[in-house]
Amino acid sequence: MPARPVPRLLALLLAAAGGLVTDLAFPDTGIWVLAPVGVAMLFLAGNRDAPWWNALLGVVWGVTFFLRHIQWAQYAVGDVPWIALSVLEALFVGVVMLVWTWVRRVPRIGRSVLLQVLSFSTLFVAGEVARSAVPFGGFPWGRLAFSQAESALGRLAWVAGAPLVSFAVAAAGALLAVAVLAMLRVQLITVGASLIAAVAILAVGLAVPLGTQAESGTLAVGAVQGNVSKPGLDAFENRREVLTNHVDGTYSLLDSVDQGDLDIVLWPENGSDYDPQVDAEAARDIDDAAAAVGAPILVGAQEFPESGGRYNVGLLWEPGVGVVDRYAKQHPAPFAEYIPIRELVRPFSSAVDLVTNDMIAGTEVGVVDLDSERLGRTVSIGDVICFEIAYDGLVRDSVAAGAEMLVVQTNNASFGPTAESTQQLAMSQIRAMETGRATVQISTVGVSAVIAPNGTIVSRTGLFTHEQMIEDVALRTSTTPAVAIGPAVPWVVLAATLALLVAAVGAGAQRRRERAAEVTGRGAPRSRPSAGRSAPKK
């Protein structure tokens, strides 16, 4: 699709503005339609046939997006880690734009608007897949899908998970860019077709059937947001106070229900920063609260094995019995819960030494089994701890293992009044739609919420408040297409990306052969007259 290259200064401005516009699609601003607009600005900026220049534009777009999007990292750990992480994630966007420039040189792709849109969207999602996996287990924050929790596009998660939602956003953005380029060339048919296709993509999710009805009964759930006295890294200086807040919040549930009315009470990550299995006082406080409400409590706590390190766990505490099941976080956050390459990182940030005891990864799928006397059976509850909600496989594995609802235990106290908590809530909404499971996000400080299986927020709390929620949560057992095919989706994306790369390499080799032949043809010496014959005179 030939087009006059965008002047370099304008291209830089478009890329920088595009990153900022894309972030406005995410909470707290939440204008979801701006996600494809921001992607369109990147597409337009990179229309020059200059691979490394376009890679730079991708980095610029990524830096402006991530610096704003994960500003909560600056609040929590300071400037250097925040900037370093933002630049690292931006490099993935740079690579996407580099490869995209090579791919669109393939003659068949260059001549087809449809193939350009499909190729660009595939590469963009491949970049998200890659940065969700590496380095140190990846960082999936800021995927386009997580901007669409309140849009029809978010419903596509039911079909093939977050990658499909991101693909649709990128495709809609590419189509908007195609429409702009066609408008500049006064190609009205292309303008109209591109805009109609973009609108169709934005609306196609309305056709996805999202069920909300209970399939295996309901659970009466109480959720306790205990709050802390001050936000930031020092929020847990007084661990006993935080535990007391959650104990008191559990007793407060009795203002709305009678003893025995609830099937389970949910506490957040670090609801008890003690291990009640070894701390007698914490055990007594938790057991008394569980006995008062007449229900087990899923307690967010810490375990400290004798071999060293610590586990971040969800402990299912039965009154009068103690721990009857547990889940240990499988994906500790690097540079937050454990410090890889500590000696190399320390010169850049002393914050690494705030983590004195590295967290260990759990090895079991996130499911805890609740023996429900009222239902007369065991209910499997999917447990996801904090940032794990961003990782496709961890959530999907819980549901594949039999989870009938999801619980996201999280601690957002370190991030203060930033958008981190609501960004996480949007991820929980996408996961509810993807898995067809009611989801409860319960935080120490908020925002906590009960989410229906169609992603709708049923109830929610404020930020840095002491609140409780009580809801009858639908239990479901059906398997969504996303859960069934989810493990294959990233591999399909990567296989398609590899095919595009092979095509680009082949096209590049063909171009080099043609140029070599052209040069040889221009530079070939004129044939000389045969010996014994006179050259013809002019």
Q: What is the pLDDT of residue 353?
A: 64
Q: What is the pLDDT of residue 392?
A: 96
Q: What is the pLDDT of residue 537?
A: 45
Cα separations (Å) of 309 from 97, 339, 355, 359?
41, 12, 11, 6
- Distance in angstroms (rounded) separating the CA atoms of residues 176 and 170: 10
Q: Are 222 and 257 in contact (CB under 8 A)?
A: yes
Q: Which of 139, 89, 165 is nearest to 388 (CA)?
A: 139
Q: Is 329 a catalytic residue?
A: yes
**Type of residue found at 353:** D
- Distance in angstroms (rounded) separating the CA atoms of residues 345 and 374: 52
The active-site residue out of 128, 386, 404, 471 is 386
Contacts of 160 by beta carbon, 8 Å cutoff, 6+ apart: 481, 482, 485, 486, 489
Q: What is the pLDDT of residue 1?
A: 46
Q: What is the pLDDT of residue 342?
A: 67
The active-site residue out of 329, 388, 420, 471 is 329
Q: What is the pLDDT of residue 505?
A: 94
Q: Are 60 and 15 in contact (CB under 8 A)?
A: yes
Q: What is the pLDDT of residue 350?
A: 63
Q: Is 386 a catalytic residue?
A: yes
Could you please report the per-residue DSSP string of 291-314?
Answer: HHHTS-EEEEEEE--TTSSBEEEE
HSE-CB at 212 with a 13 A cutoff on CA atoms is 9
Burial of 167 (0-12, 13-18, 19+ CB in 10 A): buried
Q: What is the pLDDT of residue 532?
A: 41
* β-pair partners for 326: 315
Question: Which tokens sit at 99?
Answer: 């490869």
Angle between helices 392-400 and 420-435 (to 10 degrees): 40
The active-site residue out of 89, 128, 269, 434 is 269
Angle in degrees, CA 180, 494, 90, rounded to 5 = 60
For the whole model, what pTM was predicted? Answer: 0.93
Contacts of 354 by beta carbon, 8 Å cutoff, 6+ apart: 233
Q: Which segments in the chain show pLDDT lower than 70?
A: 1-3, 233, 235, 341-355, 522-538
Q: Is 471 a catalytic residue?
A: no
Could you please report the per-residue DSSP string of 227-244?
Answer: --SS-STTTTSSHHHHHH
- Distance in angstroms (rounded) separating the CA atoms of residues 108 and 20: 33
The three-state secondary structure class of 469 is strand
- Distance in angstroms (rounded) separating the CA atoms of residues 18 and 154: 21
Q: What is the pLDDT of residue 341?
A: 67
Q: Are 33 and 76 in contact (CB under 8 A)?
A: no
Q: What is the pLDDT of residue 245?
A: 96
**Type of residue found at 147:** S
Q: What is the pLDDT of residue 112?
A: 95
Q: What is the pLDDT of residue 534?
A: 44
Q: What is the pLDDT of residue 352?
A: 66
Q: What is the pLDDT of residue 538?
A: 39
Cα separations (Å) of 129 from 86, 101, 125, 168, 192?
17, 19, 6, 15, 32
